[in-house]
């Protein structure tokens, strides 16, 4: 599908960014604990879309919608993904290998 602005869309209706389009976005880099610039996570907002990439492979861009991104960020803030991080502790939940849901 090609809308009037020439942007290409891939599977699921998500935009596919070319190198020039990606270079034109304002990427925000997450801080790395050791202060290095290697393997950093970057996010760029583009209207209704949120683009995510890693600095070690900037051409591999994952795109999602703003509402899905907002739900993910709220989940991070609520410690819903802590069980994926070694040593993070955090609450147990239905998807946690160590426990059941908590209220």
Neighbours of 44 (CB within 10 A): 18
As a whole number of angstroms, the distance between CA 88 and CA 79 comes to: 9
Distances (CA, A) of 24 to 51, 98, 99: 12, 44, 45
What is the rounded average pLDDT of the residues 10-19? 77
Q: Do residues 102 and 93 lie in contact, with contact meaning Cβ atoms separated by under 8 Å?
A: yes
Higher local confidence (pLDDT), 17 or 75: 75
Distances (CA, A) of 75 to 16, 44, 80: 26, 19, 5
Percent of the chain residues topping a pLDDT of 90: 41
Is the pLDDT reported for residue 5 higher than 80?
A: no
**60 phi and psi angles, rounded to 5 deg:** -90, 95
């Amino acid at each position: 599908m090609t809308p009037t602005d020439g942007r290409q869309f891939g599977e699921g209706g998500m935009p596919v960014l070319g190198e020039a389009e990606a270079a034109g976005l304002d990427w925000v880099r997450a801080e790395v604990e050791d202060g290095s610039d290697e393997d950093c996570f970057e996010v760029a907002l583009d209207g209704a879309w949120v683009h995510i990439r890693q600095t070690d492979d900037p051409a591999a861009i994952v795109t999602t919608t703003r509402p899905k991104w907002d739900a993910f960020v709220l989940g991070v803030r609520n410690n819903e993904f802590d069980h994926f991080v070694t040593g993070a502790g955090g609450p147990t939940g239905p998807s946690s290998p160590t426990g059941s849901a908590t209220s």
